[in-house]
A and B are shown apart, each in its own frame.
Chain A
């Protein structure tokens, strides 16, 4: 992986492995296992056999049992290729109608649903039909990789972005479909499919090489000249070698070996013309050869106001291209581009600068230098590389006059103001020397310059001289003048107003620019302030909607994920149209931008920026411009991304506050519950203890008591016991509800616990027979003995309750798989049909409430059994009666005892 990260510039002084790079390696490796692996079958041109190689390998893998499917493979009518496809499962292609023709394209959705281990997708650089989720196939592939699906694909060397123009110059054929170099470099494996040029030519003549139908036959023949093929082959080999080199470097730097010198940083100057694109590509090749990190710098000067829309777009496009190629972008603004660039370079220790060089005619060089010349002149200590190309002259700036002639209204206003000046001065004509009144016109020119710019101010300067001549000089109301002194007056007046005017205009312009910048900063500032002062996601969303909506003149929607779908703030927004919601959802799930002016679903009306903090998506910021045709500039988009990350961290804060709050409430209510439980426990049990104790104590004297009294005392005693059981059940249920059952796990023989339970119900059993069917030699089981004893007591109590006085109850225990199964069955009333599961619900009593049974016993049994990891079921027995059975895991293997 050729990644030019900062770490690789650390020079290791000894041979010990650099732990950071090792860690990088490991984490890269680990990220590979969760991300799909990409293997690119790379070749010099069509016809070398990339698809063939890819299919052959896939067949082998299929034979080995790997889940391989074909995503889309172009056979171009070659039988031998088509034959290889037999037997490989295929994802059905999508029919796309484009300009009246139905084409078959790759169906990303179907592939994602199918989720194979490996998918074959031909033609890495293919452009998808409009309306597809992504405009480019390599983006489809990126999404597949993100979902953990491995991908094999094919690519010709001329489809690489950085090599594209080189190939065009070589062969005269410009291929439009490209893949960014970054994507290529990130591929996990590149397999170079290489054949000698003679061999390829032979294949061409045999008709085995694909030529697109309708392609210019002559162009194709030109392309397949032997010299071209050799050159392409060399490019492909070299590019592959570069990659191997880079991999080697990463490995050896991790191992601590002295690495090849990492090149010095390179600073590339770009602008708004097409020359910049070539400069960028050239720089990338430079940087990659030198293994140097490279930075692209773009300086905005005051002149930028005059840029045509086309130029602005080109500038944006150039910046994006640079980013795709792997450069870091630096945007600066200042009065002098050369100065800013050199300052930046010096401040950051950069000594290599690349700049495009435009040839200037002698005449033009009189009026100003080009950036390249300025840099060369002023860049002492710098190594400056210029890239020259013959590019068609473009008009990036609206012409000087064009810009100023565009506002006829300003000129009318200029005339109005000058007329006012004249009217102001006329009354004083007789009182004082007319020369003194020139100042009024000067004032007028200044006002016009400040409000309407240079053009009108120059115009006003001229007109004011003419007015002065007409209205003030003898003879008045004519354009002639007698006094030769007026030559000086007119010239001075003209020059003065021109100078003052242009100064005023420039100042005014700069003031306007700073105000604009201040405004932008203000928006950011006020949004930040409001976000930090409000609480809760709803309030934050409202703040964001208000500020951003106003600042950019757009409609903002915030999408928040809920349990079943998404919620929007505000409720009704234009983005609610179904199509847009799915775009927002895509952005949320993939944590990437989607929608207008992005790489995914670009036909959407709005742009959707995910709000990501700490690697989780907290929501989506949806931006729909009020004016449909409006295109956001790169600067605006990066501003919006800044806003998005601000909002995301604000949301994160809100989330954290919420969870902290919840945790606090939970712990408080926990405390309250415990206090309640313990006090209730104590307060109920104490009087019960007195009653039971007193009754039992009195019963000890039963010989001395009348029979009736004894009976009454028995009654009191037994009822108190029942009450005690009820209290126990109620408190147990409360603990279960709170989820606060803590098991005191100890090893037991189930027989002991059953015996203990039987002792406890001894009093109630009356005449009933209780049989036990417990296998001998059952192993130890780990469980909470007291709780399970309670479970057994509850089950036995139930059995007693629902059987007649002479009823039969059986309790059994045996091993079942790796659990213990305990069953309590009786021959009593049995369970009502259909209620076999309901009986375990709280407060369920079979049919009718008798003898104060609150219906909690079985619910408690269920809670305790499940807390142990077991399960409990009830059903009706063969002879009527109920059969309740539960399992307990936790059997201990039979241990050898040592003496």
Chain B
């Protein structure tokens, strides 16, 4: 890839070793890493370098990662992938609800990293385009005509199930929290809706012939939410 088309990716991470691995991995995959070792520097680079994706560590020394997300979301739709440790579920959920797009739990592999970054990029670039068709593994979802087929067989979905599926599909590849799902489908997050969500998701799974024990499409992320299989 030429210099011109290399996608800039902003890395805000205080640990040098992790930055190195991130940098090398991104470079290997034709992306252009821009590094910052603290929040302030990161924000500056965000404004000056116009990266297309941001990788943000939640445990920064100077500013709380959550705070950075809040600030960034005031003026930018840039996809944000947060890096966090296990046991910090609350932080992850808050980050996701404040606008982060996905997360990676340390330690993670290079493969996961590239996958998340690519998903983020895809969604960012597609934001400009309207309703689309989704297709993977025999499942076809046409959001404009509202037609769902699995291996060319029509799937009959209830309105809620369709709504649920469309939200998942629009966010395919990204994690989406239960709260976000509830808000999109029902308009608000309540205790009852939490239960309904699980039940409807299960129904949806059954209709898509997706086995929860061995999921193809709808992947459960315990404690966080769901992730719909990415297109590619």
Contact = CB atoms under 8 A, between A and B. Distances in A.
Interface of A: 681-682, 685-694, 696-697, 699-701, 717, 720-721, 724, 728, 731, 744, 746-749, 751-756, 758-759, 772, 774, 780, 784-786, 788-789, 892, 895, 897-899
Interface stretch (B19-27, B62-70, B121-129, B136-144): B19-27
Q: Tell which of B110, B160, B213 has the most Cβ of chain A within 10 Å.
A: B213
A693 B25 contact: yes
A448 B158 CA distance: 118
A686 B17 contact: yes
B197 to A, nearest CB: 9
B166 interface: no
A86 B223 CA distance: 69
A40 to B, nearest CB: 57
Interface stretch (B42-50, B72-80, B214-222): B214-222
Contacts of A681: 85, 87
B28 A697 contact: yes
Contacts of B17: 686-687, 690
10 contacts: A685-B107, A690-B15, A694-B24, A700-B110, A747-B195, A752-B220, A756-B222, A758-B214, A774-B213, A786-B223
B223 A686 contact: no
Given A701-B28, A754-B213, A785-B220, 15 more contacts: A686-B18, A689-B107, A690-B18, A693-B25, A697-B24, A700-B110, A728-B86, A748-B220, A752-B215, A755-B220, A772-B213, A784-B223, A786-B222, A897-B199, A898-B196
Nearest to B224: A786
B212 A751 contact: yes
Contacts of B106: 685-686, 688-689
Given A685-B85, A697-B24, A692 B223 contact: no
A267 B85 CA distance: 80
A717 B17 CA distance: 16
A746 B110 contact: no
Interface string B157-175: 0111000000000000000
Contacts of A788: 222
B34 interface: no
Contacts of A892: 195
B108 A693 contact: yes
B178 A746 contact: yes
A696 B20 CA distance: 13
A758 B21 CA distance: 28
B111 interface: yes
B32 interface: no
Contacts of B71: none
Nearest to B203: A897
Contacts of B18: 686, 689-690, 693
Given A744-B223, A749-B212, A895-B199, A700 B25 contact: yes
Interface in B197-212: 198-200, 202-203, 211-212
Given A681-B87, A746-B194, A690 B21 contact: yes
By Cβ-Cβ distance, the 6 closest A-B pairs, closest first, are A785-B222, A696-B109, A697-B110, A692-B107, A751-B212, A693-B21
A692 B199 CA distance: 37
A696 B200 contact: no
Contact of A691 (B107, B211, B222): B107
Interface in B80-96: 85-87, 89
B155 interface: no
A770 B109 CA distance: 25
Given A696-B111, A786-B222, A755 B213 contact: yes
A179 to B, nearest CB: 62
Chain B contact-residue range equals 35 or more
Contacts of B221: 756
B42 to A, nearest CB: 18
Contact of A780 (B107, B110, B199): B199
Given A746-B194, A756-B222, A697 B21 contact: yes
Nearest to A687: B17
B25 A697 contact: yes
Contact of B59 (A682, A687, A720): A682
Nearest to A753: B222
B113 interface: yes
A785 B220 CA distance: 10
A892 B109 CA distance: 37
Contacts of B203: 897
Contacts of B21: 689-690, 693-694, 697
B13 to A, nearest CB: 10
A688 to B, nearest CB: 5
Contacts of B159: 899
Nearest to B202: A749
Nearest to A700: B110
A748 B198 CA distance: 7
A752 B220 CA distance: 6
Contacts of A689: 15, 18, 21, 106-108
Nearest to A724: B107
B25 to A, nearest CB: 4
Contact of B213 (A697, A728, A746, A751): A751
Contact of A748 (B15, B25, B222): B222
Given A681-B85, A748-B198, A755-B213, A693 B223 contact: no
Q: Tell which of B87, B199, B222 has the most Cβ of chain A within 10 Å.
A: B222
Contacts of B109: 692-693, 696-697, 717
B107 A688 contact: yes
